[in-house]
Amino acid sequence: MQAIRILAVLVAASAEVFAEGGGARRIVVSLADRKIALFEDGQVVKVYPIAVGKHSTPSPNGSFHIASRVVRPTWYQPGKVVPAGPSNPLGTRWMGLGYKGYGIHGTNRPKSIGKAASHGCIRMRNEDVEDLFARVEVGDPVELVTDTDAIASEGGGQ
């Protein structure tokens, strides 16, 4: 039943965006359900589990876009640089959201997927982020949605 609810919410969100003149490919992130869905031409292509921002550092909500794509990213923090590799918290891919410091990325902590565990980014298993990375391009729209019930009711879903 939960999977049906998530899919209904994602379809409702996508239908609203396409009605507003959205593009052929779009990413919709349900922060509450901790899922990310890739849509092409209004159809769900794939749904992936994710980790979202923890209570003290929540993920933003709103409309963004893929602003950058990086294979084997380097992680920078004041006073610390972690090059690509197994200890890198960004995993194997980074897709910047055009909002400084926020993106969709892999992880070196796959057990965190499904939880509110990040510093605000959308965290995916490395194999999932590599799959999504191969399917999207710079400029593709990304919608991060917090209140899935409001979107479902606006879009006519349940």
Tell me: domain 25-147, CATH 2.40.440.10, correct? yes
Q: Is the pLDDT of residue 116 over 60?
A: yes
136 secondary structure, DSSP code: -
Q: Which of 52, 27, 11 is nearest to 136 (CA)?
A: 27
Q: Which candidate in 55, 65, 105, 119 is catalytic? A: 105
Q: Exposed, middle or buried by CB within 10 Å (0-12, 13-18, 19+), for 4?
A: exposed
Instruction: For residue 119, indicate whether it is catalytic.
Output: no
pTM for the full predicted model:
0.81
C-beta separation of 31 from 102 below 8 A: no
Question: Could you give the 3-state DSSP secondary structure of residue 22?
Answer: coil
Cα Rg of the chain, angstroms: 15
Let me know if 105 is a catalytic residue: yes
CA 145, CA 9: separation in Å to the nearest integer?
10
Scan for tokens 């929540």, then name that residue. Answer: 58
Q: Which of 55, 65, 119, 121 is catalytic?
A: 121
> Is pLDDT at 98 greater than 80 in this prediction?
yes
pLDDT digits (tens, 9 = 90+) for 38-82: 999 999 999 999 999 999 999 999 999 999 999 999 999 889 999
Average pLDDT value for residue range 100-104:
94
pLDDT recorded at residue 77: 87
